[in-house]
Chains A and B, each alone.
Chain A
């Protein structure tokens, strides 16, 4: 069985303005901008659903206060 990821992100597609700073910042490169548009007309960020390390870097790169929530495996 595959080892579970250390981290996970919850992304708010409606809060996202599609700036792409988190995509650029993410060390394991597990974020990308979606093909579709959100209500504001931006391509919002989405998670590739695997590979997150829970480092939290995307959280600090993101200018929106609540667009990204980062979780980590409980110790």
Chain B
């Protein structure tokens, strides 16, 4: 009896048992004859051969291959539908030493994920994409996919895909080959033994490129789906070879593997300590919490018409908060019109980290017009501040439990030279009445937000008038 040695067996990069189900833990969940199992084997074998199991991170999609993480004994992330290549980019940038594979089907990659794959490829991200194209949405029961062939029936094209109704099959490799950045694009198939061996080489190549840091590589694999195609596994294999490959020609669409040098690593972000200096924040990174201001929590709603400087007022507040070492958030909310539509913003200035940028229960309301005052006055917390434009009290009644300051802020701005400076008059009044921010913080913020010298000068005068209005009890 001669000695036999094992030459092909289950790859080391697979788990011994798949813990998804209590029984049959040695079996994948794929249908008999499904191409995913073969692609899994090719990927696992390439990982073994390249010796990268310990630094491989597989990003699985939504679709039949969603459970890839039950099979591959590597790092695993399961992404939202279509986002696998975007997630892969993030993982790769965060962990440049890892080898990141995005495994996606045609419904995932070529429909809902078209933007993600296009831009990942266009940035030349150093990731490897394994794109399994079976021309159908299989997991959900056989709806038309972007890659469905003309004439192919599906649950949503029962009489066959028609180019005038549903467009043409989407050619992903050809699309990506129009971009400058990709290093390697190849379409292979699982239509017979020879094609499968070609697919094995392409997968190894695409992953190997990443190990060499060459850049973006994608392998499209035409793959059988016997169940949804309603063919037996052997017929389905023939259909891949005879029908699919006719519509999606096999071949190399881009190969810069030999000429491309290693892609430079992404530039590191600036150190956190550097950020305040880069933003021109006067107080540096000194946080208010370091100075014992732990109870500060201003929740400010600024509201008015578009064009009144509502968002800019909020921006100055938030920027000044940065100078004062506070945690800040600024959340604008406005209609599509640039002028005269409703406009408001939510600003939070706090000593502690901010949980939500949304201000639904403000302790400061800055209402630049009457409708905003009437709309938001009931939401103000008891003991809070309300500043409004004009001296007419709101029609829906005043509140005794809030501090109200009404002045003709816009009119004062107009007298100073421009009605649009009314927002800074109101800000001056707010600062004077509450002392919520130190002067130098506001000045620092103003210089960053207001670019024009003329406006900077006007806004400074507007602030001073607003302060005076509160100090003196009325506007002069």
Contact = CB atoms under 8 A, between A and B. Distances in A.
B7 A54 contact: yes
Contacts of A4: 1-2
A15 B44 CA distance: 18
A65 B35 contact: no
Secondary structure type dominating chain A contacts: loop
Contact of B41 (A25, A39, A57, A60): A60
A19 B28 CA distance: 13
Nearest to B223: A63
A60 B190 CA distance: 10
A7 B5 CA distance: 9
A44 to B, nearest CB: 11
B455 interface: no
A56 B40 CA distance: 17
**Size range of the chain B interface in the assembly:** 35 or more
Contacts of A48: none
A62 interface: yes
A68 B196 CA distance: 16
B75 to A, nearest CB: 19
Given A42-B32, A62-B37, A64-B28, A25 B4 contact: no
Interface stretch (B8-16, B134-142, B315-323, B408-416): B8-16
Contact of B7 (A15, A56, A66): A56
A65 B37 contact: yes
Contact of B5 (A14, A19, A71): A71
A47 B196 CA distance: 22
A8 B7 CA distance: 10
Interface in B1-38: 1-11, 14, 24, 26-28, 30-38
B330 interface: no
A13 to B, nearest CB: 11
B237 to A, nearest CB: 6
Nearest to A26: B193
A61 B199 CA distance: 12
A21 to B, nearest CB: 5
Contact of B6 (A57, A60, A64, A70): A70
Contacts of B28: 63-65
B1 A65 contact: no
A20 B1 CA distance: 30
Contacts of B332: none
Interface string A27-42: 0000000000001101
B6 A24 contact: no
Chain B contact residues: helix, strand, loop or mixed: mixed
A21 B233 contact: yes
Given A21-B234, A65-B14, A73 B3 contact: yes
A24 B237 contact: yes
B37 A40 contact: no
A48 B196 CA distance: 24
Nearest to A70: B8
B436 interface: no
B7 A19 contact: no
Contacts of A7: 4
A74 to B, nearest CB: 4
B3 A65 contact: no
B216 interface: no
B274 interface: no
Contact of B2 (A56, A63, A73): A73
Given A60-B196, A64-B28, A74 B38 contact: no
Nearest to B197: A60
A68 B233 contact: no
A24 B69 CA distance: 30
A61 to B, nearest CB: 6
A12 to B, nearest CB: 7
Nearest to A24: B234
B71 interface: yes
B9 A69 contact: yes
Nearest to B41: A65
Given A4-B2, A15-B26, A65 B10 contact: yes
Which of A7, A66, A70, A73 gathers most chain B CB within 10 Å?
A: A66
Nearest to A4: B2
A55 to B, nearest CB: 9
Contacts of B40: 63, 65
27 contacts: A7-B4, A15-B26, A17-B32, A18-B32, A19-B32, A20-B33, A21-B237, A25-B192, A54-B7, A60-B42, A62-B41, A63-B28, A63-B32, A63-B33, A63-B34, A63-B35, A64-B28, A65-B37, A65-B40, A65-B71, A66-B9, A66-B10, A69-B8, A69-B10, A71-B4, A72-B7, A73-B3
Q: Which 9 A-B pairs have the closest CB atoms?
A: A63-B37, A19-B33, A66-B10, A17-B32, A19-B32, A71-B4, A19-B233, A59-B8, A70-B8
Interface of A: 4, 7-8, 12, 14-15, 17-21, 24-25, 39-40, 42, 54, 56-57, 59-66, 68-74
Given A4-B2, A24-B237, A59-B8, 4 more contacts: A60-B197, A63-B30, A64-B28, A72-B4
